[in-house]
């Protein structure tokens, strides 16, 4: 069974940063690596499900024309909206995924520390939704904690293995460490240097 909304509501009940996204160097460094993995300076439309309090959203917002974020916890949605106040092109919705996947097409979908909370059936549905909503040149970035998490139905290893199998897109960039996995897939496998005429 996927982890249900009350779990996340409880995390945010007395803490506006339950994973210490702002304080931990580990988290700040991981965000920097995540942003550095992106092969385009700017995207047209980005979707970040499971945005939590909006720390990664704040980094994504200057890199796109439209940012759609979503979280299941009402408190997280309010925090993310506050974090993104300076970006009128950013929107944060409350919703439980994969059932409440938003309408629209995205040229970047960011699955950051989300998918191991989903059971295999829900994760497969989420991948279907992502594939259906990616543009013809769309990209999907996934970043997940590597060790097993108590109460989560899957590990980051399982998640990235399934993504590699199901997406059937070229792997554009990969950064794996003992602590986390970071992968970027894209429908257009052309390298950055080739796009800029360097090779």
Q: Where are the alpha helices (DSSP H) in 136-180?
A: 156-167
Scan for tokens 């439980």, then name that residue: 96
pTM assigned to the model: 0.94
| Tokens 């460490």, residue located | 177
Q: Which domains, from first to last, does the chain contain?
A: 21-195 (3.40.50.150)
Cα–Cα dist 2/102, whole Å = 19
Q: Classify 176 as helix, strand or coil.
A: strand
Q: Which of 139, 76, 147, 94 is nearest to 116 (CA)?
A: 147
Could you list the pLDDT tens digit for every one of the 199 residues in the chain? 677 667 666 766 777 776 677 889 999 999 999 999 999 999 999 999 999 999 999 999 999 999 999 998 898 999 999 999 999 999 999 998 999 999 999 999 999 999 998 999 999 999 999 999 999 999 999 999 999 988 889 999 999 999 999 999 999 999 999 999 999 999 999 899 988 888 8
């Amino acid at each position: 069974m996927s982890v249900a909304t009350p779990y996340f509501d409880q995390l945010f009940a007395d803490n506006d940063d339950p994973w210490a996204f702002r304080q931990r160097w580990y988290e700040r460094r991981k965000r920097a690596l995540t942003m550095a993995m992106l092969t385009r300076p700017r995207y047209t439309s980005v979707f970040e499900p499971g945005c939590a309090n909006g720390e990664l959203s704040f980094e994504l917002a200057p890199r796109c024309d439209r940012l759609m974020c979503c979280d299941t916890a009402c408190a997280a949605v309010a925090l993310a909206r506050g974090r993104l106040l300076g970006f009128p092109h950013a929107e944060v919705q409350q919703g439980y995924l994969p059932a409440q996947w938003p309408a629209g097409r995205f040229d970047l979908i960011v699955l950051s520390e989300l998918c191991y909370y989903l059971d295999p059936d829900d994760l497969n549905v989420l991948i279907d939704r992502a594939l259906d909503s990616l543009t013809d040149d769309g990209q999907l970035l996934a970043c997940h904690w590597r060790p097993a998490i108590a109460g989560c139905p899957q590990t980051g290893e399982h998640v990235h293995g399934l993504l590699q199998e199901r997406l059937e897109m070229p792997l554009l960039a990969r950064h794996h460490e003992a602590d986390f996995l970071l992968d970027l897939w894209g429908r257009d496998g052309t390298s950055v240097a080739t796009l800029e005429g360097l090779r």
